Amino acid sequence: MHAAARPLFMPSPESRLTAAIWGQFLGDAASLGSHWIYDLEELKRRFPGGVQGFETPATGHYHEGKQGGDFTHYGDAALLLLESLAACGGGFRESDFGVRLTGFFGSSICKSYRDHATQEALERMAADPDNFQNGASDDQPATVTRLAPLVAAYQKRPTEEMLDAVRRLTRVTQNHPTALGCAAAHAVLLRQLLEGLPFMTAFENTRKSREVSCDGSDYFEFAHMLREFDAETATGRFGQGCPLPQSLPSALHAACRHHEDFTTAILATLRAGGDSAGRAAMIGTWMGAVHGMEGIPADWLSRLNARERIQKALDQLYARLGVEWRA
């Protein structure tokens, strides 16, 4: 595994925090046109020069109708969470987020894909409108792909308070032990990266953390075991699918191998096929926290169609948190 070397520059805490949030959105948007293509030969035929990120989905694709620079359903939900946190003064309120989620994904004009967690959560909230802690029995990446702004908002609060908010967020759409455990592991790793620890140091600390379940710790161990393989091979071994027992170790592996560079890490997982969006959102979050805004290419930021909306929500959130930074 790569040595835990520090970068030549040390991003400020504000830069790390901001880049973790932007990185999450960039990882998701970069994957839009190549998402859920499992056959690597087909992926290479469709993108003969290799997946470069931000491609527009082809006709018949799951995200048909969206344009390059848009989000998948993961990113759409993540933006709803960011806006909810901003509106609620930096605290997480499951009722506010739940109402935003149902308003967006429950709309007849919604173009965004409804995954299992979202669809079942919508049905449960329709049957019990005041219960926002009754999510689906689902172990896929719905929650882990939106966690960055919540962990950032709770960065100065006690760890247990942050983890309580993570649990409450998870249960809005997912009531499953694997989803809860993986969300906690992702949050613990991100919290340490935001504190300025090198990626591999934070990785090892999280693997051994008492806040991380045995299964969660195993996913870190699996990523470590395949450290000599490239991302395409390792992802094939873990599985390219959405379930977190496949997607979390695959994401961790790509981040471990390519933690020196933001875009290299994301492109490596995009070219491994399958649920690349779920993995890339996590990787973008971690790499953003490692490298800060200085490590994110300006041309990637310029491709986000929701950039102004994200910045507006960040400005509102940061005003409440007392953070001064603008991308």
**What is the average pLDDT value for the chain, to the nearest integer?**
95
Q: Using CA atoms, how far apart are residues 60 and 46, in angstroms rounded to an integer? A: 13
The predicted-structure confidence for 58-70, as pLDDT tens digits, reads as follows 999 999 999 999 9
Average pLDDT of span 240-269: 98
The predicted-structure confidence for 276-287, as pLDDT tens digits, reads as follows 999 999 999 999
Q: Using CA atoms, how far apart are residues 203 and 206, in angstroms rounded to an integer? A: 5
Question: Which segment of 167-176, 208-217, 306-315 scores lowest on mean pLDDT?
Answer: 208-217
What percent of the chain is predicted at pLDDT more than 90?
93
pLDDT level of residue 211 (50, 70, 90 thresholds): confident
User: Residue 253: is its pLDDT beyond 80?
Assistant: yes
Q: Using CA atoms, how far apart are residues 208 and 214, in angstroms rounded to an integer? A: 9
- Identify the pLDDT of residue 2: 43
pLDDT level of residue 326 (50, 70, 90 thresholds): low
Q: Is the dihedral of CA 34, 40, 43, 47 positive or negative?
A: positive
For the chain, give every domain's residue range.
Answer: 13-321
pLDDT level of residue 135 (50, 70, 90 thresholds): very high
pLDDT level of residue 8 (50, 70, 90 thresholds): low
Residue 222 tokens, joined: 């699996």
Contact indicator for 306, 40 with CB cutoff of 8 Å: no
Contact indicator for 190, 285 with CB cutoff of 8 Å: yes
pLDDT level of residue 5 (50, 70, 90 thresholds): very low
The residue with greater pLDDT, 212 or 52, is: 52
Q: Using CA atoms, how far apart are residues 159 and 165, in angstroms rounded to an integer? A: 10
The predicted-structure confidence for 80-118, as pLDDT tens digits, reads as follows 999 999 999 999 999 999 999 999 999 999 999 999 999
Q: Using CA atoms, how far apart are residues 216 and 248, in angstroms rounded to an integer? A: 9
DSSP line for 192-238: HHHTT--HHHHHHHHHT-TTS-HHHHHHHHHHHHTTTS-HHHHHHHH
- Identify the pLDDT of residue 4: 43
pLDDT level of residue 215 (50, 70, 90 thresholds): confident
User: Residue 256: is its pLDDT beyond 80?
Assistant: yes
- Chain centre distance of CA 272: 17
User: Residue 214: is its pLDDT beyond 90?
Assistant: no
CATH number belonging to the domain at 13-321, selected among 3.40.50.1370, 1.10.1660.10, 1.10.4080.10, 1.10.1370.30: 1.10.4080.10
Residue 125 tokens, joined: 């909230």
The predicted-structure confidence for 24-34, as pLDDT tens digits, reads as follows 999 999 999 99
User: Residue 119: is its pLDDT beyond 90?
Assistant: yes
Q: Using CA atoms, how far apart are residues 266 and 53, in angstroms rounded to an integer? A: 9
Average pLDDT of span 166-194: 98
Residue 274 φ then ψ, to 5°: 75, -140
